[in-house]
Amino acid sequence: MINGKILVVSLTIFSVVCFLAEDLCLGGMDKDGWKASPELVAKLTQRRSETNYDEQKVPEYTLPDPLLMSDGTKVTNAQAWKARRRPEVLELFRTYVYGRSPIGRPKDMTFKVFDLERRALGGLATRKQVAVSFTGRQDGPGMDILIYLPNDRKKPIPTFVILNFGGNHTIHSDPAIKLSGSWMRPGSGIVNNRAAADSRGKASLRFPVEEILKRGYGLATIYYGDIDPDFHDGFKNGVHPAFDKLQEGKRASDAWGSICTWAWGLSRAMDYFETDIEIDHNRVIVLGHSRLGKTALWAGARDERFAIVISNDSGCGGAALSRRKFGETVGRINTSFPHWFCENFRKYNGKEDDLPVDQHMLIALIAPRPVYVTSADEDLWADPKGEFLACKHADPVYRLLDGKGLGADWMPGLDRPIKTSAIGYHVRSGRHSLTEYDWRQFMDFADMHFLTSSQGRN
């Protein structure tokens, strides 16, 4: 009898401890987690009545199982994922979403370091600027990589690589940064002429260069328009004329869209990093904001040389699940930006349920490498919940490969990052932007992973 009582008491204590432990494992998360502000939902719905911002109106959907092969076989071990399912999923994204890029390193590509300053930023950094010619021809397409590396750390340096929207000179007021980045949208009179000297440092709030260097990281950045200007001209500008293979004068329905060209450019930057002994090419973190967040995910998915992948507010065609049709949809994005994806993607305008993939599978392609996804509270266009759910549904692949996934079942509260597992996530206060707060979480996340990696940090 006494033994029975002891058993009941012990079991009760045990379940309370388990309950608390579960709560602790979930980072003390509220099961309700983040929710969009009803006032904001009402305001945005009024502004764009054709767009759904209401969680109640998200349709029922079934996601494709990332661990189910097209032939119906279930993937049950890491070997089958790597050898069969991962290539299959990659191929689906190539064929139906982003398009196909040339394979490997272009054979005539050249790198030229045209600037090397050992005492940049008051001695804090070494600055390098590298001209990349994709075809090795002066008149061919190319890009400039701007690199800062901290001077007070042992080399090689783990480095963030990020595409920028306005030209390399916009990320910092350092007068030695080569002015770059201008193109004209034909017929529209819209000029992206950030090449003007007065735009130096204009985007510096998004690039806390000194803070990054002080934390022991390098920063490499490239103007995305160098690779492919961001407007639709029938794929005549940027890298297209040099690399596109037309079939009977026509582009293939899976020919690369601009997101794929930008991602390809990031891989070419990685080709350079592999030649620079001061950069730790085994610890390169690819990061991007918004359309360039979509790009960072695709770059990290297709190129396993990137050690960590970070998507900031990437939304539709990035981290957000398409099937939720919340905020920006496949039909909307393909209409507003017909040059971003491959032609096949348009077949799914309004038909998201027919897509053979959804964006959780894009995140799964990065496994087991660490990935970090962010959302912003006011950025309902990018569907914060859909971005979180894509992480959650990529989790089975991470768990199959290394036992550590997202480590959370519910969305965390506002400004409560999940950053101690292989999949990191936060929803930050404020708008669609890349902020110092975001960068701090990214550096904490990288610190944690690089410290625990066998190579350690210097």
| Distance (Å, whole) CA 224 – CA 263 | 10
Residue with Cβ nearer ligand GTR (334 or 421): 334
**Is the separation of the CB atoms in 167 and 194 below 8 Å?**
yes
Tell me: does residue 319 bind ligand GTR (CB under 6 A): no
Catalytic residue among 182, 199, 204, 432: 432
User: Does the bond joining 156 to the residue before it have cis omega, within 30 degrees of 0?
Assistant: yes
Both tokens of 397, joined, read: 């692949």
Tell me: does residue 383 bind ligand GTR (CB under 6 A): no
Q: How many CA atoms lie within 13 A of 291 on its CB side?
A: 20
Q: Report the nearest approach of ligand GTR to the CB of residue 444 (Å).
A: 25
Tell me: does residue 333 bind ligand GTR (CB under 6 A): yes
Residue with Cβ nearer ligand GTR (228 or 280): 228
Size of the site for ligand GTR (CB under 6 A): 7
19: left (phi over 0), alpha (psi -120 to 50) or beta: alpha
Residue with Cβ nearer ligand GTR (291 or 360): 291
Tell me: does residue 44 bind ligand GTR (CB under 6 A): no
- Residue 240 is among the residues annotated as catalytic for this protein: no
Tell me: does residue 291 bind ligand GTR (CB under 6 A): yes
What is the DSSP track for 310-335? EEES--TTTTS-GGG--SS-HHHHHH
- Residue 360 is among the residues annotated as catalytic for this protein: no
C-alpha 448, offset from chain centre: 19
Using CB under 6 A, which of 145, 177, 259, 316 touches ligand GTR? 316
Residue with Cβ nearer ligand GTR (351 or 431): 431
Return the range that interacts with ligand GTR (CB under 6 A); candidates 124-132, 137-145, 243-251, 328-336. 328-336
What is the DSSP track for 261-308? HHHHHHHHHHHHHTT-TTEEEEEEEEEEETHHHHHHHHHHHH-TT-SE
Tell me: does residue 315 bind ligand GTR (CB under 6 A): yes
- Which H helix or E strand runs over 101? none
Tell me: does residue 95 bind ligand GTR (CB under 6 A): no
Q: Output the 3-class SS for 401-439.
A: HHCCCCCCCCCCCCCCCECCCCEEEEEECCCCCCCHHHH
Tell me: does residue 324 bind ligand GTR (CB under 6 A): no
Using CB under 6 A, which of 95, 290, 421, 441 touches ligand GTR? 290
What are the residues binding ligand GTR (CB under 6 A)? Answer: 290-291, 315-316, 328, 333, 336
Catalytic residues: 290, 432
